[in-house]
Amino acid sequence: MIFEVKILGCNSASFAFGRHHTSQVVNSNQNLFLVDCGEGTQLRMIKQQIRFNRIHHIFISHLHGDHYLGLMGLIFTFHLQGRTDDLYIYGPPGLDEIISLQLRHSESVLHYRIHFQVIEHDDQLLFENEDLQIISLAMNHRIACYGFVFREKQRRFKLKRELLPETLGREELLLLKEGQNVTDSAGRVWRNEELASPPPVPRTYIYAADTRVLDGIREVAEGCNLLYHEATFTSEMQSRAEATFHSTAAEAAQFAARHHVERLILGHFSSRYQDVSPVLAEAIQYFPHTILAAEGQTYEVPARVASKQHASII
């Protein structure tokens, strides 16, 4: 099943060196979720050939401009393009007021309906379908700020249809899908592995928005498959990172190592770095499975490598 994230923008507050404000698209089994929406996101979507009518859910982490100022333009563009599908927006308190005020002053009556869900606290279930749950994750930033946990659901065992005997009824098939052994109408016991394949282990993607490194984070991060974490600065700027409630590459990497993350993507780079390779160089000292976000690139949420035990260097 597809579970991947495409980076639309990964720079911090300013546009610089061809990098843009934060936005990304999570694809879970062909359902797209837009995460943050900095100014110009609609242009980034056009460039990446992401069709607007595939976006039904938009998650906004916080109300610093580089994370949400493209939202209003997207709302208007959806309207102009004749959208009729409902749009679901999840964001911190105040975002609904900002949207409503601008709709009112433009005297816009949208052709479609916006459902707004306020993110009020950590660990809030925001969205759920048969494939995954999306849950809020409180950040430690200057203003109310939430990351998002995309957690795949446990799928059922897959039946080996060509091997199924006719002596099994509907009830036994359901038991097989749950991973159990069954007894058929002739009294024969079938071991589950004879007739079914186990589902893949559910994966988790975490989008950590702007934040100081999260020492008190819930156990949700433990062993997550892919973590997008900000690394606005390198350690040379430690005091600035602390003052502005951002993280350094070292801090993000140490966090990933401590929590046995499978893979780490760093983003939200400061405009002071034209060349962001020092960010990577610093991080891999602490967590080798680190990559730098690159706009336009798509990153699969990797399965855990069972035999591998990431050494925690910390």
Catalytic residues, which ones? 66
Residue 144 CB, shortest distance to its own copies, in Å, is 9
Task: Pick between residue 39 and residue 172 the one whose CB is nearest to its own copies.
Answer: 39
Give the 3-state secondary structure of the chain: CCEEEEEEECECCCCECCECCCEEEEEECCEEEEEEECCCHHHHHHHCCCCHHHEEEEECCCCCHHHHCCHHHHHHHHHHCCCCCCEEEEECCCHHHHHHHHHHHCCCCCCCCEEEEECCCCCCEEEECCCEEEEEEECCCCCCCEEEEEEECCCCCEECHHHCCCCCCHHHHHHHHCCCCEECCCCCEECHHHHEECCCCCCEEEECCCCCCCCCCCHHHCCCCEEEEECCECHHHHHHHHHCCCCEHHHHHHHHHHCCCCEEEEECECCCCCCCHHHHHHHHCCCCCEEECCCCCEEECCCCCCCCCCCCCC
Residue 243 CB, shortest distance to its own copies, in Å, is 14
Task: Pick between residue 70 and residue 147 the one whose CB is nearest to its own copies.
Answer: 70
Can you tell me the distance from the alpha carbon of 255 to that of 313, in angstroms, rounded to the nearest whole number?
11
Task: Pick between residue 105 and residue 161 the one whose CB is nearest to its own copies.
Answer: 105
Can you tell me the distance from the alpha carbon of 159 to that of 197, in angstroms, rounded to the nearest whole number?
6
Residue 268 CB, shortest distance to its own copies, in Å, is 14
Residue 11 CB, shortest distance to its own copies, in Å, is 12
Task: Pick between residue 104 and residue 308 the one whose CB is nearest to its own copies.
Answer: 104
Task: Pick between residue 14 and residue 154 the one whose CB is nearest to its own copies.
Answer: 14
Residue 140 CB, shortest distance to its own copies, in Å, is 15
Which chain residues interact with its own copies by CB under 8 A? 13-15, 39-40, 42-43, 46, 63-66, 69-70, 72-73, 76-77, 80-81, 94-95, 97-98, 101-102, 104-107, 142-143
Residue 122 CB, shortest distance to its own copies, in Å, is 20
Task: Pick between residue 86 and residue 97 the one whose CB is nearest to its own copies.
Answer: 97
